[in-house]
Structure 1
């Protein structure tokens, strides 16, 4: 089960959300989990709600006005009730002044209290998006992940088959590297799996005989990209290891591979001496584009052949 603690959440979002940590410094280890995200009854982020408190409470102008409208004793009681729940953190948005009772409660219950100058709806939108990505189901796969002609392409194959050399050729042709060797994939929405490069490997490509290459330094910033949705899987296979009966000359069947429960289109490309694999990959992606538009060359050829056969019988 994916999770993130409040200290890491603050570290990764403080600039974008313009956060300041004002109280509850001992609560950095409080965690938010993916299980919380998926349960509708346990909303992860929300405005002040004393009936169903959220894991991260966002207090905007209306919420702070409500607290200020309460008599001091009732306001303290309401805040104590809020902090007595399984609360991870509180964010006071809109640059609102933080009452002392909130600070005292945050320190008492070791629940971080942040302030932000952003408007509460904007803050919630950004934070919700961040948490959805940070705590999505994930898997790490071996291969090279590229952006080729705008599509996210995972190149797979056994060791030493030439994946990195293919990636280098594609980069020289203007395409972009996302990750080499290990790719982290996240199910960020029901119909989308996103690939990311582990921080340790960013910008690097290992090519036998050349060693580790810094692609950004060699080819510029446009040669690399941090993330990309997965659109297509290219499986490289040695042609001499494939039995003739396993070679699909017409590609009548559309192949798929499941990644985090999502079916992703897959193309097998046999590797043999003299074959320009980079060109084959580019054409495979162009053909994938046509298939998405409903243009299937194999079906067109088959239909044309059947028409000719009918003419010959007549």
Structure 2
């Protein structure tokens, strides 16, 4: 299962959350993950002595509770708390850290941090961060683009012209997310976020031209750091067998399952003379209309059915 270390959490959120690491440096490699099959939301929460969260957050009430305990009672409570598995403790609201809590974190190698932010906001940010960091992922071969604000994954066999199509779309004002290796993360029950591996970021390979730095050639607006996947464009060779198997009216929408998420798919035959960039833009526009409840195919079928019905009624009257 995916996991993230406390050191990584600190590095990624130190500036945003104004975190200060004050004790427990020996636990920097402590892992936060879903190895115990708990949902991501339950990994972060206020101080819980019965079922400790991986990330224990102490707000005003929790620190006040510890301060009001007798020293013996406080030791008993902390013994019970640190007997369970914890990754990190964060004291919110810029509060003074109880000395006993600092000692326990140092002794048990549990990182202790502080922040001036309020605990509810702190937990919201950490939950969103962990949902992305711990998301189930996979890598697919293709080119991932932002076309008309829709995340589009272009797939197909090798030498089908995916990169050339992507280059044409980029030149028309659309944006590149990833080429060749597309990392997809399930950040929600029905949401896939596509990203590019750091090693390949900004680069596009085009046969005959080699490697192009899209950011340098086309400018900053030609690349995107990430995008939610909404539509798959699958390129196939336009031979007789493929054309016969293709549903020309596209009455039954094609879909593809990725990490348990169903994604709409459009199959485009590739042949000489076909302007694939225009076809992709049209497919995206049609998808946007369908999201709004406008289905051109259904409208055509209904119009045709109504025409035939009117013809039958006219024949009966004659």
Alpha-carbon contact 2:17-2:115 (below 8 Å) kept:
yes
**Which residue is 2:120 aligned to?**
121
Deviation at 1:271, TM superposition (A): 0.7
TM-score, normalised with respect to structure 1? 0.94
Does residue 25 (structure 1) correspond to residue 25 (structure 2)? The answer is: yes
* Residue aligning to 1:224: 223
On the 8 A contact 2:243/2:269 being kept in 1, the answer is no
- Measure how far apart 1:242 and its partner are: 4.1
1:301 & 1:214 partners in 2: Cα distance? 44
- 1:41-190 → structure 2 map (5 Å cutoff): 43-190=42-189
Q: Quick one: structure 1 residues 283 and 244, their matched pair in 2 at CA, closer, same or farther if it must change by over 3 Å? A: closer
> 1 CA distance for matches of 2:146 and 2:138?
19
Tell which deviates more after alignment, 4-13 or 87-96: 4-13
CA 1:96–1:268 in structure 2 vs 1: closer, same or farther (change >3 Å)?
Answer: same
- Structure 1 residue ranges without an equivalent (≥5): none
Instruction: Report if the CA contact (8 A) 2:63-2:98 is conserved.
Output: no
Moved more, 13-22 or 140-149: 13-22
Count of residues in correspondence between the two structures = 313
Counterpart-to-counterpart distance in 2, 1:218 and 1:50: 56
User: Contact 2:24–2:106 at 8 Å: present in 1 too?
Assistant: yes
Considering only aligned residues, what root-mean-square deviation do their CA atoms show, in Å? 1.8
Give secondary structure in 1 for the equivalent of 2:131. Answer: helix
Q: Which runs of 5+ in 2 are unaligned?
A: none
Q: Is the 8 A contact 2:21 2:113 kept in 1?
A: yes
Is residue 10 of structure 1 aligned with residue 13 of structure 2? no
- The CA deviation at 1:24 is 1.0
Residues of 1 paired with 2:60 and 2:264: CA distance?
A: 48
Change in Cα spacing, 1:6 to 1:217, as seen in structure 2 (3 Å) is same
Q: For residue 256 of structure 1, what is the aligned residue in structure 2?
A: 255
TM-score by length of 2: 0.93
Contact preservation (8 Å) 1:232, 1:266: yes
Whole-Å Cα distance in 2 between the matches of residues 51 and 147 of structure 1?
A: 46
SS in 2 for 1:231: strand
Change (3 A) 1:243 1:148: closer
